[in-house]
Amino acid sequence: MEWLGEKIKDLIKENNSSIVKLAKKTGVSRQTVNDWIKGQIPKGNHLINLCKIFNVNPDFFFSKDFDNSISVPVHRTRMTAKVTPAMQKDALEMVRKYEVLFKNDANSSILPVVRVHHRTDVVAKKIATELRKRAGIGQDLPPDYEHTFSLLAYLGIKVIFRHFPEKIKAYAFYTKIHGHRIVFVNNSTNIIDLIFPVLHEAVHAIRDEIQTNDGFDAEEEDFCDKVANYIQFPDEYVHMVYDFINGLSAGAQVNKLKIYGKTYSHALFGIVKQIKTIDPDFNLKIGGADSNFKKGFHTIGDILFIGDDPRDYVAKISALSPLFTSIILNQIDSITISKLGEMLGIESVLDARAVKDELIKLKSMAA
Amino acid sequence: MFRDDRYGCVTIQEVLQELFRTQKFKTKYPWRTKYKSKIKALIKSKVETGDFNLYLEAIRNIIVTGKINKRTKRFFSLSYIDQQIAACSIAHGFKLTTVDDDLADFIRQEFSGKTISPLGIVNDWIKKGLIKWDDDLQSILEDWDKCNEHPQPKKEVKRFKKITGFKYTGP
């Protein structure tokens, strides 16, 4: 969106007026009117005067085209939901609330980008192994949600936890705002369902290749899925689980998988899918069992807001999303309480004032 | 004080909703229940009279396009509710009271709008004889301090001491 100062010139002409007359009417100098025409946004009360003099609305002076400061947000949904224009619109509206925050934060850091010639399985595995290593995810085990978010921080990704409007049927999505890599995470997502989509979006972020109009590239999606799968389920772990359950009855297999899932924070569906890649004949049905299993886990929102304590909440977001928290801290003195509540998505849960006080304390401690 | 015109206080529906729908406020501000019946928001048709929508549209455009706060040297960043409050105060010529410096900066810088401190409001009420300052009310000043309220303007602190004869124990 930009200020269209040259429209003032057209209005002057249409109204048989002049810059001098307009300057007089608005109570400013001729130079000021010239500055407006050249692109300087007038002060609010001068803008109102211009609207009244020319009988137009403020919208008239601003382009409705948004620049490329925000990339297409949602291009993939949870389960079978379709990406709809309404979903895109709501997501963009939600993302725009953060535009000024990231605009205010000059992004000059060097960030890793992964370029590949062929999006093969071997390459996906290689990238996953490297990412696991760099994030310090050891022992060939699935990462828990804390490890997952530390990987995102390592990759320079800012994570924003918030409740998504009903129309945005996604667990998480990646977008870029003024060059910052952002992954939005839906607070109502079960922690078990969260790790894979967050990893998927993280791979999108480092691929940095969303170029099509609707942001959807099936091959790229498939590639991001593969990398995310290999990060979450390294071969060694899949083999270990498979060796352990192979030959057991279906019921025993489900029970053992539940133990693994509980210990290593993953859904049954995910591991079964991976086992099928090493044994195509493996045909365990886990639909209902998986749904029941997930009921035993919290949503990420539950984890963030347990106890409804602003201090705990601030400690949690600064641990899980250090980069986003750091940007908030840098600007905390100039963020209004209401805006802070809006950006953190805490309006109806926590007192934004108390959260702001905690963030200020955190900032002074860091200093 | 919002139902009695003599106190000269108004707020908008969105602020009222925020105050009463946030669960945490129930314990943090126990007085909110006591005062619930006294706080009344302006009705929508009253807020949206005159130039309100013109101001709101102007504010929205300015914020989205990006305007630098001359004091902080950062772009103004106001929430939807902040924008509504700003539009309401400017369109209707209300003085704005807020703990948010950025919001106050915005209405002063962009619209030469006027602001008033909470202590300024209290002083006005005392001066008009609407409230009589006593020890009970004095304890509110200590609450302000505990709640980390902004330091009140020196001019108003001086005025407070003069009109009440009490020591100023607030922020």
Q: Tell me, what's the pLDDT at B94?
A: 93
Give the C-alpha distances (Å, rounded to integers) separating A53 from A123, B48, B52: 63, 21, 17
Cβ-based contacts under 8 A for chains A and B: 116
For residue B9, the Cα-to-chain-centroid distance in whole angstroms is 9
**What does the mean pLDDT of chain A come to?**
90
Q: Rank B47-51, B99-103, B122-126, B137-141 by mean pLDDT and report only the highest.
A: B122-126
A66 φ, ψ to 5°? Answer: -85, 140
Q: In terms of Cα–Cα distance, which of A189, A182, A151, A226 is closest to A301? A: A189
Q: Tell me, what's the pLDDT at A336?
A: 93
DSSP for residue B68: B
Contacts of B123 (CB under 8 A, 6+ apart): B156, B159, B160, B163
ipTM of the complex model? 0.88
For residue A79, the Cα-to-chain-centroid distance in whole angstroms is 18
On chain A, the residues whose CB falls within 8 A of the CB of B54 are 48, 51, 57-58
Across the interface, of A334, A339, A350, the residue whose CB is closest to B69 is: A334
Q: Tell me, what's the pLDDT at A77?
A: 63
How confident is the model over A84-130, as pLDDT tens digits? 888 888 888 899 899 889 988 876 677 888 888 888 999 999 999 99
How confident is the model over A218-235, as pLDDT tens digits? 888 889 999 999 999 999
Closest approach of A106 to chain B, Cα-based (Å):
11
Q: Tell me, what's the pLDDT at B126?
A: 94
Q: Tell me, what's the pLDDT at B148?
A: 74
Q: Tell me, what's the pLDDT at A79?
A: 63
Considering only alpha carbons, which residue of chain B is nearest residue A56?
A: B54
Closest approach of A97 to chain B, Cα-based (Å):
8
* Rounded CA separation A329/A342 (Å): 16
Across the interface, of B65, B69, B76, the residue whose CB is closest to A3 is: B65
How confident is the model over A17-69, as pLDDT tens digits? 999 999 999 999 999 999 999 999 999 999 999 999 999 999 999 987 665 67
Region A264-268: mean pLDDT is 93
Q: Does A331 touch chain B (CB under 8 A)?
A: yes
State the angle between helix axes of A145-154 and A121-134 in degrees (0 to 180), rounded to the nearest 10: 90
Confidence of residue A253 (pLDDT cuts 50, 70, 90): very high
Across the interface, of B28, B61, B74, the residue whose CB is closest to A62 is: B61
What is the DSSP pairing of strand A172-177 with strand A180-186? antiparallel
Q: Tell me, what's the pLDDT at A136?
A: 84
Give the C-alpha distances (Å, rounded to integers) separating A359 from A162, A232, A303: 17, 32, 19
How confident is the model over A173-221, as pLDDT tens digits? 999 888 899 999 999 999 999 999 999 999 988 987 655 555 667 888 8
State the angle between helix axes of A191-207 and A218-232 in degrees (0 to 180), rounded to the nearest 10: 120
Q: Tell me, what's the pLDDT at A57?
A: 95
Residue type, A289: A
